[in-house]
Amino acid sequence: MNKILIFISRLTLIFTLTICFSYKVYGEEENETILQQIKVLQEDIKTLEKAVYSQGVNTTSTGGELSSNSNDVLTKHLLKLSELEEQFKMLTNNFEEINFKLDKLSSRITKVQTDNQMRFQDLEKSGISESATANKKQKKLPGSDEAQDLGSISDADIASVEKTQQTQSVESVGTVITETAQRAEKILPETSPEEQYKFAISFLKVGDYETAEFALKEFVDTNSKHELAGNAQYWYGETFRVRQLYQDAASAYLDGYQKYPKSSKAPVNLLKLGVMLVQIGEKTQGCSMILGVKDQYPKANQSVIQKAEYEKKKFECDKKS
DSSP 33-85: HHHHHHHHHHHHHHHHHHHHHHHHHHHHHTTSPPPHHHHHHHHHHHHHHHHHH
Domains of the chain by start residue, with CATH: 2-132 (1.20.1270), 155-314 (1.25.40.10)
pLDDT value, residue 85: 77
How does pLDDT run across 240-273, given as a tens digit for each residue? 999 999 999 999 999 999 999 999 999 999 999 9
Q: CA-CA distances (angstroms) from residue 263 to 61, 224, 232, 234, 296? A: 101, 12, 10, 10, 13
pLDDT value, residue 81: 78
Q: CA-CA distances (angstroms) from residue 4 to 49, 77, 203? A: 9, 10, 71
pLDDT value, residue 293: 94
Please tell me the distance from the alpha carbon of residue 261 to that of residue 152, in angstroms, as a whole number: 14
pLDDT value, residue 43: 75
pLDDT at 168 over 80: no
pLDDT at 146 over 60: no
First to last CA, the chain: 94
Tell me which of 151 and 192 has the higher pLDDT.
192
Please tell me the distance from the alpha carbon of residue 94 to that of residue 91, in angstroms, as a whole number: 5
* Predicted model pTM: 0.46
pLDDT value, residue 76: 76
pLDDT value, residue 78: 79
Q: State what percent of residues in the chain have pLDDT above 90.
A: 41
Least confident of 39-53, 109-123, 252-266: 39-53
Q: State what percent of residues in the chain have pLDDT above 70.
A: 58
pLDDT at 19 over 90: no
User: With bands split at pLDDT 50, 70 and 90, how would you rate the model's confidence at 141?
Assistant: very low
pLDDT value, residue 24: 47
Q: CA-CA distances (angstroms) from residue 14 to 24, 77, 107, 214? A: 16, 18, 30, 67
Averaged pLDDT of the chain = 74
**Neighbouring residues of 249: CB distance < 8 A, sequence distance ≥ 6:** 237, 238, 240, 241, 272, 276
pLDDT at 208 over 90: yes
